[in-house]
Amino acid sequence: MSNAIYDFRSDTVTAPSAGMRAAMAAAEVGDDVYGDDPTVNRLQARMAEMLGKEAALFVPSGTMSNLLALMSHCGRGDAFIAGQNAHCYADERGNAAVLGSIQPQPITHESDGTLRLDRVEAAIHPDDLHSAPTRLLALENTLGGKVLPLEYMRAAGELARKHGLGFHLDGARAFNACVKLGVDIAEFTAPFDTVSICLSKGLGAPVGSVLVGPKALIDKANRNRKMLGGGMRQAGILAAAGLYALDHNVQRLAEDHGLAKKLAEGLAQFGELTVTVPDTNIIFVGMDAQVEGRFTEYLKARGVRINGGYGQQRWVTHLDVDDGAVDAALAHVAGFFRGETGAASAH
| CA dihedral (77, 83, 88, 89) positive or negative | positive
Q: Of 165, 147, 119, which Cα lies nearest the Cα of 260? A: 147
Is residue 158 very low, low, confident or very high in pLDDT (cuts 50, 70, 90)? very high
Mean pLDDT of 141-163: 97
CA distance 90 to 66: 12
Q: What is the CATH number of domain 6-13+252-341?
A: 3.90.1150.10
CA distance 275 to 272: 10
Global pTM value: 0.94
Q: Is the pLDDT of residue 1 over 50?
A: no
Mean pLDDT of the chain: 95
- Model confidence pLDDT, tens digit, residues 319-333: 999 999 999 999 999
Q: How far is CA 91 from the centre of its chain?
A: 11
At 139 the three-state DSSP class reads strand
Task: Label residue 113 exposed, middle or buried (CB < 10 Å: 0-12, 13-18, 19+).
Answer: buried
Instruction: Report percent pLDDT > 90 for the chain.
Output: 93
**Can you give the residue ranges of every domain in the chain?**
6-13+252-341, 31-248
Fold match, 6-13+252-341 / 31-248: no
CA distance 282 to 290: 23
At 136 the three-state DSSP class reads strand
Q: What is the pLDDT of residue 340?
A: 53
Is residue 102 very low, low, confident or very high in pLDDT (cuts 50, 70, 90)? very high
**What's the N-to-C CA distance of the chain in angstroms?**
19
- Model confidence pLDDT, tens digit, residues 30-50: 999 999 999 999 999 999 999
Q: What is the CATH number of domain 31-248?
A: 3.40.640.10
